[in-house]
Amino acid sequence: MWRFYGDDVAGARRLVDAALAAGITLLDTADIYGEHHGFGASETLLGRVLREAPELRDRMVLATKGGIRPGVPYDSRAAWLGQALDDSLRRLGVDHVDLYQIHRPDLLTHPEEAARALDDARQAGKIRAIGVSNHSAAQVQALARFLPVPIVSQQPELSPLYVAPMFDGVLDQAMERNMAVLAWSPIGGGRLMKPESDRDRAVAALLDAAAETAGVDRAAAAYAWLMAHPARPIPILGTQDAARIARANEAYRVRWNRADWYRVLEASLGTKMP
């Protein structure tokens, strides 16, 4: 829901309906999303949808994020996280979210303080589970040290064009801790659909070969490539096109064999695996 904002409530409802109809139940937003249209714009629009159709709430896993503060830029102090969460709940028009994530690590807040704020909110019933976004494996470990409950999710940038989490310990830690991996920008910020470099085109060509075999589009092949990893990444779609949302579950029609999967990785890295 990074680009989910504005005043077209009917159009926003169509996007939510398209996702739920396709079996997509995780709706992931953040207080910073839509900032250029006003801080909290994405949450506000989703809140308007839920006020018009409150029955949708029970059909979704509602996730949001806090900890980015315009002009600061990061703040995970207890006072700010508490205020940010309350503001998110107000904009969404709900009394709790299923998953609350620290959006980016705040280097000036001790993880014990952030953990205390998150667990206070959990015990108050405002959040059901705790996650992080854009955290290193070490930062996750430090935060987890002070929490009485597990961190259930990690949200890294991850795509066939950005594979760093496969090598920097983020996906390994997710598997070790049984954390869900929510992959943002799974088609490389759109670059897989409009390749800009020889590397982009090489990766796209390999995805196209798999897509053609399965009778799907390149995006579905990219989602399937991510989902083939044993950490079981969940691609976070950024599209605002209901038709593309409806086709996203075609990813399940793609079957990557080991050799072809590694060819995509090698094209992304620009080198053969050692």
Instruction: Of 101, 108, 115, 119, give the one whose Cα is nearest residue 31.
Output: 101
- Please state, in angstroms and rounded to a whole number, the distance separating the CA atoms of residues 82 and 169: 30
The upper half-sphere exposure of residue 126, i.e. CA atoms within 13 Å in the direction of its Cβ, equals 21
Instruction: Of 165, 180, 210, give the one whose Cα is nearest residue 192.
Output: 210
Contact call for residues 30 and 67 (beta carbons, < 8 A): no
Contacts of 22 (CB under 8 A, 6+ apart): 245, 246, 247, 248, 249
- Please state, in angstroms and rounded to a whole number, the distance separating the CA atoms of residues 143 and 16: 33
- For the record, the structure tokens of 42 come out as 């994405």
Which one-letter amino acid corresponds to residue 33? Answer: Y
Check if 33 is active-site: yes
Q: Choose, from 33, 100, 162, 223, the residue flagged as catalytic.
A: 33
Instruction: Of 69, 66, 64, give the one whose Cα is nearest residue 96.
Output: 64
Q: Which residues are catalytic?
A: 33
